[in-house]
Structure 1
């Protein structure tokens, strides 16, 4: 029984010794080397990332303007079309007959016009000498009626010719046509609800991005207070669904005029050139918009931590050579850094490396460091030697 008790006591003592040793190793008592950068307020681009959706520059549902049987489909789905390119041919037999009839009526009306003109001229000449006033008025009316008949049949002929032209359905815009919804032999009617096909123009293309009304108010407040300098020529870049950056920048079309009552966002529309049709209407994208510039500090994200309260904290080297914790007020991020408006001063030595075992009040030896494009801290002297 005694041997068992002594075994337990020995194990407890060994564990306590191990714990003391571990604490001694994890909490160095002497100063430790840390990598630092010197903070300086600078002009920082104010960039926001917004979700967006591609919208066709033009989209038309093609419907017939006259009725008849589809005799031929004249295009290949997916091909590029210009304005006026033929798409469908509708049986034109009845429309050819209507044009012929209108031409015959036109010929008759034109033949009757000189007769009415001569009768009117004769009545005017012999007015009061064999022609009563009533007969003169009747001749004038007959001439006016003949002229009206010519104009009427002329209009009928033009309309008949127009309907005949509509039997060839053409593209109203340039773009690419979808698969036809009808086949040869199908009967269509004028102005039917079902489209024959859809044509989409996707070069250029619109991208509608969604911005919250709260952030719009924040940006306007910054501009009014002078902390944000607005960019007069607002442009956007696109991030595709696979993470690639789309070549080319978009120009602002409209900043939006109303807030959605369901999402609380404003639709901001940009226009992009899309010659290779990489961006397809309906595609979901992300847009980065540079609103302007603001005076702030850039703090590498590796140098600061966000607590449960949402505030950022970091360490700087105090005048006494110890690490001091500071609370930062941030306003979003830019590339791999936080945009900090409050909590730092020009010339502060911000600790960016050696943070794993650092605590407030710990004596430190600052060593100048840099952050490369991959977010890795490097000794500034070593980096200069490598360059």
Structure 2
């Protein structure tokens, strides 16, 4: 009996202790529920506003360029043909060399033309002798007519003979001049400065006057033309911009131009626009503009495809927004985030006209002095508050250039 009583007392004590633990836990839970401020501090932490970098948009004076495709063409081209027929005795140049105007290229056999010149000179001497005789007869006839020894009719005949002899002299002089010209034509000369191409004949070839096939083509490459094409609609926009004052051009026609070559490199020498045609091509709806570029090294050759950047004018109303700040909406519209004076983010839809370097030329959607987010865009949302750190366009460009150079692979590293 005593042992059974002891067991019952021990079990009762254990039950009492368990109940006491549950009671304490419940009291602690109720105490926590009764303190809502402490519960919110443990479950909700307010994050600080994101830090972003902004650039204040300024209105700058910016040159506006238009990029156009084009092809190069020679400044001068001369197809050399013989002006007389004969046998080529000698070729007097090296194919591909630079030559000067007046330099001899070929020698045609002059013998038959020299003989014709000698014959013409003899005919001239005979005509001059006939003039002397006719003049003497005319003078004698005048004296005899005064003394009534010779009739007036005989005097008229003598004077007519004199006039005919003088005419024969002039005709003989013209024949001599023509013969001299033909002799000179046996020396085929270069009409222009330039570079020679392939010769189509060699010594011993027989050529004819004004033949269809050219003996040689000479091309002058310095300077060189670049024929560009521009849509007529773009030309109308440019004219309206100049008329409204949005675009200012200092020179009427000779706008400066730069060239981009086929390999993507920039041609080092600047050129200028010479003129634009006044006829629109019906097939392409474009007009042709001609620019001229110096080419002393002969880098540019006729027929090369190039792209030219021609200065249309200067605008002092340009609002430039960095390209890294501009995004695209699902509808394809350009947009950017702007931080207002209260530090709140606003979304803007922009109207972009063209890219200028690493910036967009914006015509609508943003105002001068507004701050656009250029770094930290992925951490913001419209209506949110941010902590803005302002930088300048120049500092941003320098930072981007340094980052690009650091990202390039090192040669040999």
TM-score normalized with structure 2 length? 0.81
- Cα shift at 1:239: 1.7
Contact 2:50 2:379 in 1 (8 A): no
Q: Say yes or no: does 1:311 pair with 2:336.
A: no
**Residue 194 of structure 1 corresponds to which residue in structure 2?**
213
Q: Distance in 1 between matches of 2:227 and 2:76?
A: 14
1:93 and 2:140 matched: no
Cα drift, residue 130 of structure 1: 2.1
Task: Count the aligned residue pairs.
Answer: 351
Match of 2:362 in 1: 340
Deviates more, 1:306-315 or 1:164-173: 306-315
Q: Deviations over 1:126-158 (max 9, x none)?
A: 225122222111111110111111110111011
Contact 1:253–1:270 under 8 Å retained in 2:
yes
Hey, what's the Cα distance between the residues in 2 that align with 1:261 and 1:374?
48
- Counterpart CA distance in 2 for 1:185 and 1:74 is 13
The match for 2:248 among 225, 229, 243 is 229
SS of corresponding position for 2:155: helix
Which structure has greater strand proportion?
A: 1
- Partner residue in 2 for 1:372: 397
Q: State yes or no: 1:273 paired with 2:291.
A: no
Query: Where do residues 250-289 of structure 1 align in structure 2 (5 Å cutoff)?
Result: 250-289=271-310
Deviation at 1:234, TM superposition (A): 1.6
Q: Which has the larger radius of gyration?
A: 2
Q: Which residue of 2 aligns with 1:103?
A: 121
Residues 306 and 269 (structure 1), Cα distance of their counterparts in 2 relative to 1, 3 Å cut: farther
Equivalent position to 1:296, from 318, 330, 343: 318
- The alpha-carbon distance between structure 1 residues 376 and 246, as it changes in their structure 2 partners (threshold 3 A), is closer
How far is the alpha carbon of 1:320 from its aligned partner? Answer: 4.1
TM-score normalised to structure 1 length: 0.86
Query: For 1:133-172, what aligned pairs fall within 5 Å after superposition?
Result: 133-172=152-191
1:34-113 pair list within 5 angstroms = 34-113=52-131
- Taking the aligned partners of 2:386 and 2:402, their CA distance within structure 1 comes to 17
Q: Secondary structure at the match of 2:297?
A: coil
Check conservation: 2:273, 2:310, Cα contact below 8 A.
Answer: no
Instruction: Report 1:120-131 matches (<5 A).
Output: 120-127=138-145, 129-131=148-150
SS of structure 2 residue aligned to 1:97: helix
Once the two structures are superposed, residues 220-250 of structure 1 have per-residue CA deviations (whole angstroms, 9 ceiling, x without a partner) of 1111222112232521111222222222321
Q: Distance in 2 between matches of 1:309 and 1:96?
A: 84
Alignment RMSD: 1.9
CA distance in 2, matches of 1:305, 1:274: 42
Bigger proportion of residues as helix:
2
